[in-house]
Amino acid sequence: MNKKKKKKTHVPFRLNILFFLVFVLFSALVLRLGVVQIVYGDDYRREIERTEEVTVNNSVPRGKMYDRNLKLMVDNQPLDAITYTRKQGTKQIEMVETAEKLAKLIDKETNKVTDRDKKDFWILNNPELAEKKITDKERKQVEEGELEEGDLYKLQLDRITEKEMEIPKEEMEVLAIYREFASGYALTPQIVKNKKVTKEEFAKVSEHLDSLPGVDVSTDWDRFYTYNKTLKSVLGKVSSSEEGLPSESLNYYLARDYSRNDRVGKSYIEAQYEDVLQGQKAKVRNVTDKSGNIVDSEVITEGSRGKDLILTVDMDLQLATEEIIEKQLIAKKKMGNTKFLDRAFVVMMDPNTGEILTMAGKKYEKDSKTGKSSIEDFALGNITTSYTMGSSVKGATVLTGYQQGAIQPGTYFYDTKLKIKGTKPKGSYSNFGNINDLTALKVSSNVYMFRTAINIAGANYVPNEPLNISSSAFSTMRNSFAQFGLGVRTGIDLPNEMSGFKGSETSPGKLLDLAIGQYDTYTPMQLVQYVSSIANGGNRMKPHMVKEIRDPVDNNKELGPVAEDVSPTVINRLEMKEEWIERVQSGFEKVSMEQGGTAYKYFGNKPYTVAAKTGTAQAFYDGPNRADYSEPQDTMNITLVGYAPAKNPEVAFAVVVPWAYQGHSGHNMSKEIGEEIMDTYFKLKKERAKKGKTEETTELKVENGKDIQKEQAEIRNSQENE
């Protein structure tokens, strides 16, 4: 019997090979997974769990400013703010989406949106069309190194048309918000809106924070000036949140741990004391995951607002002085021959400490559009503008004469016009005859100063003959004047102080002009430093605007402890004998307190004593309308310097009225201002003394009342016990 044939398998050979390959691959996969899990598992786990620490500095409010009587001058006004904090790795399209949502909740001004912003926004919203702005040839040039990628971007910007840049109002608001988002730094809050944030906007944004990634509501601040424009230019400006760090000082501030969008002092006191006013910024360490999400935050330093400044200024005196200047300007402008009069300055300083009590300046400003005039603050003119000051500087001339041996205390000269060959006669406003140094100061003799300058130069005056002097005499006089602060920077704690201008001619007549204050120019601040050096007996004091620096405290109604007391600084001591300075002090006192003195009419019958020196300088108009005249226009500068009380000075002052009038005679605005500011100073002093005495008496009554009540209670208790 034949055996049955063996049944063949239904699985083809090729399928077996396929199964085998699958088995091999599966085994390899299992092996690989084992290697990944066992060998590299910890490494991959650490990579997944990897975090990054980023430290962020959060700004704090600036320090406040007070006057010497602790009246608040500059404060921080709280503002509702909407902010945006961009996490690391946030895409532009995500920011646009958030900006679109936020634009529906708030109104955002679009006036800061630039054409460049519009072009960038168009490229972001139209990537395909933007790509078509570049030709294949240009892309090939990039591959071949003839162009760079950045060049293609510039070409895209240049080829965007005006029509393509037309953006509807709704989208413009989105762009304005997106612009703020993009200008911020990762994990650093960026102000989106902090002005005119309505309560409705604040509430709406607060309600929708869950759908607005990165957006938050917060409180910002702005500088608030209690006295409006008074001294505002001297107090200085602070950059806005949009401006951030000034470009010219960017590297300086970045090196000092500032953020690019930090607000800093831009000018004058705000800039000069930036390190003090800025405060200690809060430092926060943010821990982010691989996606840039913040998973943890830790406050490293709490931070504190800036330290407070106590200024030397007396705001009651400052306001009164400004009112006096403004009233005088208005009154004198109504007089004839005053077409160039447009400004006036007053500086008052403690001659013993250099503390500036007032720094007032006013000037007429004309609106170019309306043509209307107004009187504006020009306090900065006390350090940024200079003028010929006239006879006010004659105290320095006399003391220089003593120092150089050109004259002695009591030296006499015959006051009559000097006649130098080839020049016009030069003299005083009157021929005073034979006078000494004290009378020369009292009546403001020009001839006495001319003869002193001639002797300083070692020259010999012969009527109707040439006068030969050495040019070195100019240096001799200027170096001596510099001891007082004339013609050099005073050292005040404000930037941008000017030193004045020195004439370049060295003819004999110019030396005589220098001796009577009609050649070189000086600032009002230099003038008050000069008279203070005479008032205090020979110390040139450094003027300063800051009296104290105080640590901040949490209670806004309280002042913190003194962190630094600004001590008086003597820049130099006059190289003069004590009796010489006393001699000039006597001459100054005669000017205002003795009949016949040029300021006696204004101070002679006062309940206080003043030592002063008046000044009138023939000058040329050099103001804002100078270009309207083809030839230099003659005018008169009038000045007044002084101090009071005459025997024990506590206040020195300088009054400067440039371009006061035209012609050889006119008003006495400088003297009238001087009289009024001194009346005001002593009136305030008397009122404060009376108020202090009243408060003292009240406190005494209260204390005595408590004692009586205590005694009565003790008597009652003893009676009850008995």
Catalytic residues: 391
Distances (CA, A) of 628 to 366, 369, 523, 624, 649: 15, 18, 25, 9, 45
From 186, 229, 193, select the one nearest 89 (Cα to Cα).
186
- DSSP assigned state of 518: S
The one-letter code for the residue type at 51 is: T
Is the distance from CB of 611 to CB of 646 less than 8 angstroms? yes
Query: What token pair was written down for 91?
Result: 């895409």
Q: Give me the residue label for tokens 């005119």.
A: 196
Is the distance from CB of 254 to CB of 260 less than 8 angstroms? yes
Give the CA radius of gyration of the chain: 39
- What's the CA gap between 178 and 189, in Å, rounded? 14
Is the distance from CB of 453 to CB of 461 less than 8 angstroms? no
- Straight-line distance from the first to the last Cα atom of the chain, in angstroms, rounded to the nearest whole number: 152
Query: What token pair was written down for 490?
Result: 């005073």
Is the distance from CB of 563 to CB of 551 less than 8 angstroms? yes
Is the distance from CB of 475 to CB of 514 less than 8 angstroms? no
Is the distance from CB of 107 to CB of 173 less than 8 angstroms? yes
Instruction: Name every residue whose Cβ is closer than 8 Å to that of residue 519 and which is 6 or more positions away in sequence.
Output: 388, 503, 510, 513
E strand spans, 305-423: 308-311, 343-349, 356-366, 373-377, 412-415
Question: Would you state the torsion angle of the CA atoms of residues 347, 348, 354, 357, taken in this order, to the nearest 10 degrees?
Answer: -110
